[in-house]
Structure 1
């Protein structure tokens, strides 16, 4: 019986293993298959009992004419391998190459053994050797199964089955799950083409898998998993970017040499190849110290506008403008890569997590955020979900023309969770979409993207229903679908300069253009002096609206008084404000202050009717004021970023590697230069050893000898002495001066803190006096 090669193309790892026999050379190689090391058995014969497992034999069902048998011939070794793998797919197990034998005469392979993937046993952890590190516990997958087929080459050049073991010692996989087995997972040529097309259109791995499932009629017909899809996309990006990544790395190294506060890190994948890159310039790190309370992780490169695998961390400054907190070049989008990215970003931001973070609606990103930022409120971008709905609900939108508008209204207009739940169920039932899987998914995640569930957390947005395109606004006009990585480096600089100029312009407008007041309220004048121009305009809008609202006392308790606030002649839409008159604290059912950091018109209405003329200081968030980026504390925090970066392990490693590579490049040119370089490295190694013996400390004498000219040491002498000091006297003198300098610095810090406190009190008293004077003037007019 003859069989032609089948187009399986499975990507199992092949290795040779020790075999028996006197007419062949047996070569054994170690293998790390899926991070599991195996103890491979050597077979003297194919027969024998089935060892390991449960002791129960599992015999495959099916047509015996379609299974291997002794004497069966194949045109080639690949044909035999493909046939056995095809048989394994029908039966329900995975295969791999286990053993090979080579000819002593010419080294050609003369025998192959294809086995069940559960053959062999995993080595115990203590046997791994070389201090091997286990990344995470893995389930036991090797049970000593003996199912296998052995093929030998004949003089005719054909391969013949010389042995076959049919029985397994483990349960077989049912047909609907066989596509998850490793030897049957293969990204076909047609699937690669479709993935490339969808990836070029900016669709992520989850969206691509959904399209493939629909195209192939089910996940079991695709032939690979989402993880395989992500791996292929990563390889495709690496091929596309090619050497351009080196341009980016050179740029980052140069920036760090110019300023040690510039932070960057590179992640290596399992093959020690470059995977992802993250960087943050000093200004980005300083901005985070001021405005890092809420963050957006921007993945809009997946959209049609961005083909570059680039994702910035952004926030909002005191003018409501986007600010940068760092950037990432994403080649690998696995969970481990996102975990590395978020951990590295937090390290660059001095270990301070944000209050909230907004990301794309992605399962892998959610897992990474949950692991690295467990205390941070995670929100999915509503804009992305609405955009995704146009694709996922295309047939629904064609049939129900008003569905999209009603969906937006349900999400954005609902004032309470009960109202949203009622509106959602009514809409879904009316359109008969209870069984729609995508709608079920986003409904299950509603607490992470529907505004009514998120109002108790700060996101720096001016209203609950705000629909902004902020997630892709920072680099608008600088990156498009045709931007290469080489061009991006230049455009990145231009974008930073442009954003900085806009911030400076907003600062200038705030300081030099007095806003027009619309009411005689002292509160309005106070806000005009405190807030930036844009934030004051928003506050002014809320304040003016209070003139159309009425507040009615509905409950008076010992600590709080509850008011019902509604617009004139619109009593059907009411809000409830609780006021503590003694402490001048208020909360509103709309939760605008918690969400945006600005007081709502409802609380301002209650302040008006209770004669609260000025804003309590706790309701003026410094991050929205003119002085958001001033103050000693923030300046010290910014200086700490510089000091921390200099001590950063990543920075030190990158600097040492960069300097060492210079010697490598120069030192290999000639034997003489090589010898000189080796002597220099040995001398450096001895100095490092001395420093290690001293606990990593370099004495003042070492610093002096390195920074000063040898002849300059004689210049250090005591006042009035005739000759130079001895080395020990110099060290003692330097230590004494150092202690005096430290004491002076501590005193300066105390004086500086006291001065800051006095200035703050003066500023507060000045503001209170201004408000009182204004109140007296208003009283005299009345």
Structure 2
């Protein structure tokens, strides 16, 4: 048994040449943003004398003619608000936030004649907030530092406002200005619930009470026409493209609670890349603080693609079950092989209920982020916990190594009795990568993906948006994603990658894989040159090789190779988890003179032709033969052609010509069938089975654009007339 010192050296080792595995910077969170008085600060915040937070105006032009630099005593503003805007702009550039302080009023008419503007870290937490904080299970660190920086403005006799005092010095470090300019965190946190209860000194709600309270308040706080505007937007989207889809759910009182939608491109993409999906309810909130749940995956360019969007009024199991079941209907019932979610009991129960055959895993990014929140005291300067924790999770290559490393972590940092660490360990098979090496997870295990998705949506969405504007913001974000995909597609067969090492197998890979996947493959190919290889067993057909690097002889890998069918498997299981060959198998191929990639190791989803051909959702299953099923399948394929055909003018001409030819051939076939049907009735006594429909039924099967009756420009929903069944069904079923 190794002693403690030896185990310490072991756990601190980097994994091969990939030292970034213990870099915790990518999980950086703004712990000062969890303070009670500013638990959801957006840009620059302030607080009035009654304790209510007011969002500082952003991006407004200053109408007063003053210096744009540092504030100074004697500076004149047209109004108090202009002075406030000026100080906010200055704070934003420097890297701190502003809070409004007390006012000075005239004794004659009670008008405000003076205003104090403080740094948001002025003073210390008040006792009334400490009492509320004590009721929480998870305590927030105090962010106020007693900073003395401030700006005082007083009203002059002529009505202008003059700076009478400016204290520039702060007693804390500034934040990055880019973080302040980008808007505040949209992350959904229970801490923000207490903001609604501010001023109620004895209120200490539990999590369940807070959820019920906000659920009731959110329903009542919908602006008149806001829900209708969102429904109109979604219905217009469906009118433009019949393959777009959405649904709503009602509560017991007939009020709309949840929304879900997916456009045509999302449904098409899911057919190609829906094997691995992320369904994360912790991404953020929309208008009325409704949690926003994007459902996304990874395409063949290693880019993020959207499969659908959900707005859930509450995160209860019932709501999540409805969201998943309804989304599955839109995706033709094809379950993902692996689904990643945040660590949440309601989500876990919903996944088990709706997707029992899908492998459920927790998003690693959320685990690391929660670790920084739960164990914040261990992430300070001079402490190696972040490095050790990250290596234990991502650096261990066997289950035994992880078990040893975890025990060492608990002992070194005195975490044996930590309840959160106990819960994590109990669920270790759902989030530790070493337990999922036999599962294809694509690029979803990369922690940077979740971070990029959050940052990307953050640049397009805001809590201040209405429901309709929020949906349009999602659309704009997705359009920019798809624009990048189109650009990569257009250059895919025109630009040749650069080769670091010229090898035939690498040149073949460049022809097969997309540029992004090839770069990952090339990294493995280059790394294979650093390995020593020794054959340790050979029975004539199957050989076993041991591989290691000279600088790390204690880290060895085993590759079994069959020369009869050119088949190999490695103990690292890189191919099983990522879908392309690892450095160890490539080394064995090199020493056994295999200079090509065997077909069984080419995963179609990573190739340049990944999106060629029609999407098949249910392989090997006999589909129903009915007009509606056939219509749906033809719509799906036609939309797929339309999406690809719109990528360039040349492809558009080809697609249009092909569709016109297909339409002509279909019409000729219909005329031939009609003629044959008439002849058979006259000459034969044999009856032929065929489907008959009334004119109304035929029209109902056609898209709106083919109907004689014009579609409604909007859908006016009377909640009193809607049944729960109506709300659960997609619009196409209700029409």
TM-score range, shorter chain: 0.5 to 0.7
1:563 to 2:545 alignment: yes
Q: Where does 1:645-660 land on structure 2 (aligned, <5 Å)? A: none
Offset of residue 506 of structure 1? 0.7
Query: After superposition, what is the alpha-carbon deviation per residue over 1:515-563, rounded to whole angstroms, capped at 9, x for unaligned?
Result: 2234442211211111111111111121122221121112234653221
Equivalence for 1:310: 292
Counterpart among 528, 531, 535 of residue 517 in structure 2: 535
CA contact (8 A) 2:334 2:618 kept: no
1:263 to partner: Cα distance:
1.4
In structure 2, what is the equivalent of residue 544 of structure 1? 526
Partner-residue secondary structure (3-state), 1:501? helix
Query: Once the 2 structures are TM-superposed, how far is the Cα of residue 327 of structure 1 from its aligned partner?
Result: 0.7
Q: Structure 2 vs 1, CA of residues 211 and 308 (structure 1 numbering), >3 Å: closer, same or farther?
A: closer
Report the aligned-residue RMSD.
Answer: 4.3
Judge conservation of contact 2:285–2:291 (CA < 8 Å) in 1. Answer: no
5+ residue gaps in structure 2? 1-130, 141-183, 634-670, 693-735
Distance 2:334 2:430 in 1: 22
Which of residues 474, 496, 504 is equivalent to 1:522?
Answer: 504
CA contact (8 A) 2:260 2:327 kept: yes
Question: CA shift at 1:235, angstroms?
Answer: 2.4
1:626 corresponds to 2:614: no
Q: Which of these residues, 452, 455, 464, is aligned with residue 437 of structure 2?
A: 455
Q: Secondary structure at the match of 1:573?
A: strand
The runs of 5 or more residues in structure 1 that have no matched partner are: 1-188, 649-714, 720-724, 740-782
Residues 341 and 361 in structure 2, CA contact (< 8 A), matched pair in contact too? yes
Residue aligning to 1:81: none
1:363 CA drift (Å): 0.8
Alignment of 1:216-615 (within 5 A): 226-243=207-224, 244-302=226-284, 309-397=291-379, 401-461=383-443, 469-472=451-454, 475-557=457-539, 560-615=542-597
Distance in 1 separating the partners of 2:388 and 2:136: 34
Q: Is the 8 A contact 1:262 1:645 kept in 2?
A: no
- Asked if the contact 1:301–1:307 (Cα under 8 Å) also holds between the matched residues in 2, the reply is no
Shift, 1:322, TM fit: 0.6
Query: How many Å apart are 1:482 and its aligned residue?
Result: 3.8
Q: Distance in 2 between matches of 1:305 and 1:381?
A: 25
Q: Once the two structures are superposed, what CA deviation does each residue of 1:667-690 show, in whole Å capped at 9, x if it has no partner?
A: xxxxxxxxxxxxxxxxxxxxxxxx
Distance in 2, matches of 1:495 and 1:270, equals 34
Q: Secondary structure at the match of 2:383?
A: coil
Cα distance 1:734–1:518, how it changes in 2: closer, same or farther (>3 A)? farther
User: Partners of 2:379 and 2:222 in 1: how far apart?
Assistant: 38
Tell me the distance in 2 between the aligned counterparts of 1:524 and 1:646: 44
Between the aligned partners of 1:418 and 1:394, the Cα distance in structure 2 is 28
Mean Cα deviation higher: 397-406 or 584-593: 397-406
| Greater RCO (Cα-Cα under 8 Å, separation 6 or more) | 2
CA separation in 2, counterparts of 1:504 and 1:456?
Answer: 32
State whether residues 233 and 468 of structure 2, in contact with CA within 8 Å, keep that contact through their aligned partners in structure 1: no
Report the Cα distance in structure 2 between the residues aligned to 1:401 and 1:250, rounded to whole angstroms: 54
Measured at CA, do residues 445 and 738 of structure 1 come closer, stay the same or move farther in structure 2, by a change above 3 Å? closer
* Residues 541-591 of structure 1: per-residue CA shift (max 9 Å, x gap): 211222211211122346532211112342122111111221111111111
Aligned to 1:758: none
Give yes or no for contact 1:263–1:281 (8 Å, CA) kept in 2: yes
Question: Which residue number in structure 1 is paired with residue 598 of structure 2?
Answer: 616
Contact 1:204 1:302 in 2 (8 A): yes
For residue 326 of structure 1, report the CA deviation from its aligned partner. 0.8
Asked whether the equivalents of residues 308 and 483 of structure 1 are also in contact (C-alpha less than 8 Å), the reply is no
Other structure's SS at 2:252 match: coil
Task: Please give the per-residue CA displacement for 1:336-376, whole angstroms capped at 9, x wherever unaligned.
Answer: 11111111111111111011111111110011001111111
Corresponding residue pairs, total: 468
Q: TM-score scaled to structure 1, two decimals?
A: 0.53
Equivalent-residue separation in structure 1 for 2:219 and 2:459 (angstroms)? 26
Change (3 A) 1:282 1:317: same
Q: Flag the structure with higher helix content.
A: 1
Equivalents in 2 of 1:380, 1:601: separation in Å?
27
- Are the aligned partners of 1:261 and 1:646 in contact in 2 as well (CA < 8 Å)? no
Deviation at 1:734, TM superposition (A): 13
Contact persistence 2:298–2:444 (CA under 8 A) = no
Cα distance in structure 2, aligned partners of 1:419 and 1:249: 53
SS for the counterpart of 2:529 is helix
CA distance in 1, matches of 2:612, 2:587: 32
